[in-house]
Structure 1
């Protein structure tokens, strides 16, 4: 049997095709995809950069996905047809030194749905049963698809230390910055400033808890205890180091292109005694992210700015930066 899927054929070459409907192996399930988020990493891959691992077209992208189980493999005992699930896309080998030292997300043999194997930008997707998480009946499939990015944000969030005295600067007020903003707000910090040039995002940022929204184009002196960079551009990363005060923490969360380099003063890191951390994917944060969304602690539903049909994807991916997308999802 065949299905419709958006297949990446090569750099900047995405086509909606009739594609072979997959069948699950004994430990896999076949999921009818109901919603799939479009991640900034999908744009990176579309333009020829790697994702969490190397990408080899032709492949169906989409690692933020949710849907309904329609068939379970012979050895699957915890899922059955009709179950509503959200998918953690990352698969770890379990035998490399990173997997064996509680750092599975740094796995030397990392595989991922929508990166190294076909993902959610198709009507059906086969995934390991171990990567499926049942979702509450009250959770929409759109919310369930956005569990994965929240899980990634949770991993980064755990790398910073906050107190009621913390002055926090979030660089980038898009979807990821909005998730960080909500998590930071829960900690009752002294103040949260968001650096975001788009006037259209201000209302949402204030609604989610920002105390101040600044335009990065404006000249100003800032001194934050914690700086969370969510953009991945050279100028925004360099700004993060300048804005960090003495004893400050800098979290570089935004995904830069592999060839990107930045100019940072080692003396500044030394003299301010800065702590600098990176954050990669979402090791075992999926269940907590489901709870945060399901219990209405974190809002993702109202942050969706664009919805696309499968047939719209080739044009949308080609024009994505021009569309003003804060968060896009595919609906089926």
Structure 2
């Protein structure tokens, strides 16, 4: 397929991005070309747009960024046999090597040679995207495009929450960005007895409430550790899902966890964090887990089924829709924290 398309380009090593007309991708034999129907803005995209230290060390403009999407296959490569024109898909964004020790033992999500679509390669903030067929996930026909586009970040929430048992347990979600808010809904669907959501942003705390949080806590107004202890008869919460990456909030998470509890960390602190390992981890017998991405493809099955069964309703989280041309409005809202998920429509 030849021609030009509109795409959001990270055009230089600095803040911002531009809408440009570029060539429609030419697919390889093992890839498919997808007509993008919806693409959502991720926190990672905001880092790239704002051009922070992480972005400066990782990405190489100019290129099309963005990695969360849903769309329809319009062309399949010569070696692709399991997808065809008209298939409705989304994609796992981790491109794996298949031959490192982790891949060879089925731990694809922690492949030591991982590259990420839209970060290390061309992305999906565009009318069309080229994606390896091995990374595609077929969507239910009746799933709306906008909801299908946020399955990838929801997978992060599912992986974090379900890394251990939560049924009948108290769960604290620290950091109510979109993935944290999704984690609230997942924890409730998985049978958590009490879900506490912590943040400084009232807008997003209210979204967490809509997604099922039993208690929302503005950490600037109430001591989070004291509140968590108060709501658990002084014992502390059973599970902490750390989504904030803020050093103070992370320390509070380890202080509110009960003896023998689990702390699952998805967030990415920008600098080293000071934790009292002796008293808050070792003497408590706490299980600490680093969470990266989604299990391929176990997590995708869980996400798709939770959405299709309506056990988790993410519609309250999708707060804004814009045409691709108005992408700057979406990034402005994300930077101000005055939105849930922002979906762009090419």
TM (normalized to structure 2)? Answer: 0.88
| CA displacement at 1:159 relative to structure 2 | 2.0
**Match runs of 1:27-176 below 5 Å:** 27-46=30-49, 47-50=51-54, 54-164=58-168, 166-176=169-179
Work out whether 1:8 is the aligned partner of 2:19: no
Looking at structure 2, the residues matched to 58 and 238 of structure 1 have their Cα atoms a distance apart, in angstroms, of 38
Q: Which is further off, 14-23 or 167-176? A: 167-176
Q: Which is further off, 139-148 or 94-103? A: 94-103
Match of 1:266 among 277, 284, 306: 277
1:317 alignment counterpart: 331
SS in 2 for 1:17: strand
Looking at structure 2, the residues matched to 282 and 54 of structure 1 have their Cα atoms a distance apart, in angstroms, of 21
Q: CA-to-partner distance for each residue in 1:28-49, whole Å, 9 max, x for gaps?
A: 1110111111111112233245
Q: CA-to-partner distance for each residue in 1:266-315, whole Å, 9 max, x for gaps?
A: 22122222211110011212233122212222222331122232222246
Looking at structure 2, the residues matched to 67 and 86 of structure 1 have their Cα atoms a distance apart, in angstroms, of 7
| CA displacement at 1:236 relative to structure 2 | 1.5
2:314 alignment counterpart: 300
Q: Which is further off, 245-254 or 19-28? A: 245-254
SS in 2 for 1:125: strand
Q: Which is further off, 105-114 or 307-316? A: 307-316
Looking at structure 1, the residues matched to 330 and 144 of structure 2 have their Cα atoms a distance apart, in angstroms, of 23
Q: Which is further off, 289-298 or 12-21? A: 289-298
Looking at structure 2, the residues matched to 58 and 154 of structure 1 have their Cα atoms a distance apart, in angstroms, of 33
Looking at structure 1, the residues matched to 29 and 334 of structure 2 have their Cα atoms a distance apart, in angstroms, of 38
Alignment root-mean-square deviation, CA: 2.0
Structure 2 unaligned regions, length at least 5: 229-235
Work out whether residues 46 and 335 of structure 2, in 8 Å CA contact, stay in contact via their aligned partners in 1: no
Looking at structure 2, the residues matched to 320 and 150 of structure 1 have their Cα atoms a distance apart, in angstroms, of 17
2:22 alignment counterpart: 19
Looking at structure 2, the residues matched to 278 and 54 of structure 1 have their Cα atoms a distance apart, in angstroms, of 21
Looking at structure 2, the residues matched to 106 and 65 of structure 1 have their Cα atoms a distance apart, in angstroms, of 22
Aligned residues between the structures: 328
Work out whether residues 307 and 331 of structure 1, in 8 Å CA contact, stay in contact via their aligned partners in 2: yes
Structure 1 unaligned regions, length at least 5: none
2:262 alignment counterpart: 249
